[in-house]
Amino acid sequence: MMSIGSVLVSPRRKARARNNSKRLKARAKLRTPWLFISLCMSPWVLGFLFFTAYPMVASFYESFTRFDLINSPTWIGLGNFRRMFFHDSLFWTSIRNTFWISAISIPLRICFALFTAWILTKPKRGRTIYRTIFFIPAMVPTVAATMSFTYIFNPAVGPINKFLESFGIKNPPLWFMDPRWSKWALIILGLWGIGDTMIIYLAGFLDVPKSLYEAADLEGANAWQQFRYVTLPLMTPVIFFSAVTGIIGSFQYFTEAYVAAGQVLDYSHSMYFYATHIYNEAFANYQMGYASALAWILLVITLACTFIMLRTQRRWVHYPNGSLFK
């Protein structure tokens, strides 16, 4: 029986075995080419290792050292952090200025971008032209825009104060040259270049289903109620995204302030922000160890703020059903 069976089965098995070996060979041919993939990925991996991972590890180590670029780093433990919190008045100045600009500019930017985007949903003709016009400032290089604004806000020759004086305002602000007004001038500059944020809000507005407005209309909701109970809840994910990126961006706020401060000699440090402090310590004072410590504190602050934002989002951010981010 066995022998008969084996005789009967044997050719099938042989055929199966042949098929298997073919399959294996085919599979071998199809096997993921790891070597090739690794080679293709290696530029990124090397870039990540050398330009992200290594600098991060190195800066973490250097944050506990005294390092002036000339001499090898010397271990000083928590010395840089003690110096930061107890001996460096500019650290606190920069923190105050950075929190101020974050607290004022982020809500203002959100409101202004939201409003501008909403306005841009209204025109029935020439929409593209209006949207382009509003977006153009965002394309202007930051340095050029800032230098232009220092001229526009120049108290003597700038058109803004000429305009204000024409309305009988005798002592208009000195803007960038007055510590009380310089940050407001920076905020106005930021609002002028709101185009990139506005585009995101515009996409959000256009994404709201028309059927919801029709339903609200049938229920007798007026324009404000439609905005409050239909548009705004559906825009909250975009507002949330904008707020988180805004917070991260505001802690890295640098170019506009650095250029404007250089233009007007900001001795009062009214435009001295945290990123400026890191830059100055690293590349003007060559205190690389101290600058590394400042950078790590920046990371901690940014992470903490982002974490708080993420924790609070459940209370006010409404994701539509089926959203990946729900």
Partner 1 sequence: MMKKGFIASLATTAIFAGSLVGSAAGAQAAARTVTVWQPQTGDTLAAWQSAMTRIEKANPGLTIKDVGSVDMAKSLSAINAGNGPDISLSNGAGNLGWFCGSGAWQKLNAAISSTKGIKLQSTFTAPAINYSTSGSNRCALPAPGGTEVTTFYYNKDLLAKAGFKNPPQTTSELLTYSKKLTTFNSDGSIKSAGFIPWAGYASNDMDAMWLGWMFGATWFTSSGNPAFVSDTKWARAFNWQKNFIAQVYGGGDYKKGAALVTKFAASAGDFWGGDNDFVKGRVAMMTSMDWMSQMFCDLNWALNPCTKPVVNFGIAALPMDDRLAAHYGSSPVGGALMGISKGSKNFADAWLVLKSLATDAQLATDLSNATGSIPTLISLQNSPKITFPAFYDNVYSITQNKYSGWHGLRNTGAHREETEMNNFMAAWQAGSVSNLATGLGQVVNTVNDILANNYSAGSNG
Residues forming the site for partner 1 (CB under 8 A): 34-39, 41-42, 45-46, 66, 68-71, 83, 87-89, 154-157, 170-171, 174, 177-179, 264-265, 267-269, 283-287, 290
Retrieve residue 142's tokens. 């930051």
Shorter beta-carbon distance to partner 1: residue 66 or 109: 66
Buried residues in 115-142 as b, exposed as e (16+ CB within 10 A): ebbbebeeeeeeeeeebeebbebeeeee
Alpha-carbon distances of 27 from 31, 32, 153, 175, rounded to whole Å: 6, 9, 70, 71
Q: Rounded to the nearest whole angstrom, what is the least distance from the CB of residue 58 to partner 1 in the complex?
A: 13
Q: Rounded to the nearest whole angstrom, what is the least distance from the CB of residue 40 to partner 1 in the complex?
A: 9
Q: Rounded to the nearest whole angstrom, what is the least distance from the CB of residue 181 to partner 1 in the complex?
A: 11
Closest CA to 97 of 254, 204, 216, 205: 254
Retrieve residue 78's tokens. 């928590």
Shorter beta-carbon distance to partner 1: residue 128 or 171: 171
Q: CA angle, corner 147, sides to 145 and 148, nearest 5?
A: 65
Q: Rounded to the nearest whole angstrom, what is the least distance from the CB of residue 39 to partner 1 in the complex?
A: 5
Instruction: Pick left, alpha or beta for residue 286 (phi over 0 → left; psi -120 to 50 → alpha; otherwise beta).
Output: left
Shorter beta-carbon distance to partner 1: residue 251 or 272: 272
Q: Rounded to the nearest whole angstrom, what is the least distance from the CB of residue 286 to partner 1 in the complex?
A: 6
Distant-in-sequence, close-in-space partners of 240: CB < 8 Å, separation ≥ 6: 309, 313, 316, 317
Shorter beta-carbon distance to partner 1: residue 45 or 303: 45
Retrieve residue 7's tokens. 């005789």
Shorter beta-carbon distance to partner 1: residue 89 or 128: 89
